[in-house]
Amino acid sequence: MTSTEPQDHPVVPTTRGPVRGERRTDGSLRFLGIPYAQPPVGELRFAAPVPPRPWTEVLDATAYGPTAQRRPFSEVTTIPEPTIPGESVLNLNVFTPGLAPAAALPVLVWIHGGGFVAGCSASPWYDGAAFNRDGVIVVSIGYRLGIEGFLHLPDAPDNRGVRDWIAALEWVRDNIASFGGDPAKVTVAGQSAGGGAVQTLLATPSARGLFRAAISASGAVARPQDRATAEAVSRALTARTGVPATAAALRSLSDERLLELQDALGEAGPDGGDALPPLSLAPFADGELVPLPVPQALPDAETPLLLGFTAHEFAAPAEDGGDADTEPEDELLGLLGALGLNEHGAGRFLTEHPGANGGDAITDWLFRAPALALAEARAERERPTWLYQFDWSGSAPGRAGQAYHCIDLPFAFDLLDAEGAEAALGAAPPQALADAVHGAWVAFVRDLDPGTDWPPYHHGRATMRWTAEPRTEHDPLRTVRDIWHA
């Protein structure tokens, strides 16, 4: 198809119909809100994603599409991720340097975080401009969240959000050449829940062949991640709300009502039982689409994997520039026991983390320990794996001295001047660090290797330390491994 549109608004064919994007001031192009599946409403609300109906008129793709997130972003995430109304939430965005198919550029497919209940692909932190500058196409995708995406329902397919990710990757396979990309050079990447999505896709046989490499930043996976736990969450929903956990009962409810039901899972039960833990609505090993939990499936996966975490993730912030609040030792010991540490391990944790709080424990349990275990298991099989810890801490109020959850993303995307970045990082974050982190991601997407200064983990447990002066160290996290993997 030859475009007759002005050069500022190129038209590109897709398998379902033509789309019109826009040229940016730097010369790159972006196409926003392209549907990769039909709106999941009515009979499709809890169904597997269905390809869009074809269209013949040119579809305007110059504005972000509707989001599955239905609450203001300030209530649910630290990243500026807007809430955009509308039904067609299964859409994606393409940021490309140009449209020449012969370019066959590598592609980064980005899956946003938000605990599988929040977030969206329309954040200014996910803009693909810097990757475009360096010859990489970025595709960011939206997907169903919370109850609609992940609650087990006996009369609906499980892991609907996972099916959405696969549908988006299939769209990339079938269409990205028209945007200058190579469908054989796709890397899937994400942060937090998005990092957990990446790990889940690696454990999903039907996703094989849709990407050649993976990046999991602060990846969060439900623990345990089995079918029995997912079924227990469904029973808890009914016990707490009186609403049957079935697609038939939920399909006609408003978005607001579904959010109320979802909130009930995070509150104490009517019998005085505890609130369900975070990630109760998340991908799980259903025995079919996702045959095995991530810890069992990923050690054998041959796909190159870059993964890591920030040093402090969910550690409680300091108040007014002081120290973060500590917890009574008996309460912290109780939490550590609930997280699976024996008496020796809990004592070692307290010794190694003087003044620790529950956030420090959650940081290790949810992020650092699982990633280390995964790196260890893959190292035993010499699977291509690169591990990092992001240690740089900015001067943001209440967060000075902490490398907390999400702080690494403006560096990875080389967007230190993006909306909300200064509030999260403080003044004058080091551009040299952004150059290094972003450069490693570009190299990995392009070459399946982040660079000669960062060897794979099986080379002496090599670990990149992202600081103002990045460096590779050998086994710097042995204490974390010894405490949680004893």
Give the strand pairing for 137-141 and 181-191: unpaired
Write down how long the chain is: 486
Please state, as a whole number, how many other Cβ atoms lie within 10 Å of the Cβ of residue 343: 10
CA distance 330 to 321: 26
Active-site residue (options: 152, 353, 405, 438): 405
Cα dist from 40 to 32, 121, 254, whole Å = 19, 17, 13
CA distance 70 to 262: 12
Contact by Cβ (8 Å): 45, 148 = yes
- C-alpha dihedral sign at 197, 307, 231, 339: negative
Contacts of 151 (CB under 8 A, 6+ apart): 233, 234, 237, 245, 281
**Annotated catalytic residue 192:** yes
Active-site residue (options: 192, 216, 218, 393): 192
With both helix axes pointing from N to C terminus, report the angle between 193-202 and 160-175 in degrees, rounded to the nearest 10: 80
For residue 171, the SS3 value is helix
CA distance 168 to 171: 5
Cα dist from 447 to 185, 204, 317, whole Å = 9, 24, 38
CA distance 243 to 267: 16
Determine the straight-line distance between the first and last CA of the chain, rounded to whole angstroms.
Answer: 61
**Annotated catalytic residue 473:** no
- Reading the block at residue 484, the tokens are 């949680």
CA distance 470 to 5: 46
Q: In terms of Cα–Cα distance, which of 364, 237, 242 is closest to 312?
A: 364
Contact by Cβ (8 Å): 116, 194 = no
Active-site residue (options: 123, 313, 327, 353): 313
CA distance 467 to 290: 36
- Reading the block at residue 379, the tokens are 């190292």
CA-only gyration radius of the chain, Å: 22
Half-sphere exposure of 284 (CA within 13 A, CB side): 26
**Annotated catalytic residue 87:** no
Catalytically annotated residues: 192, 313, 405
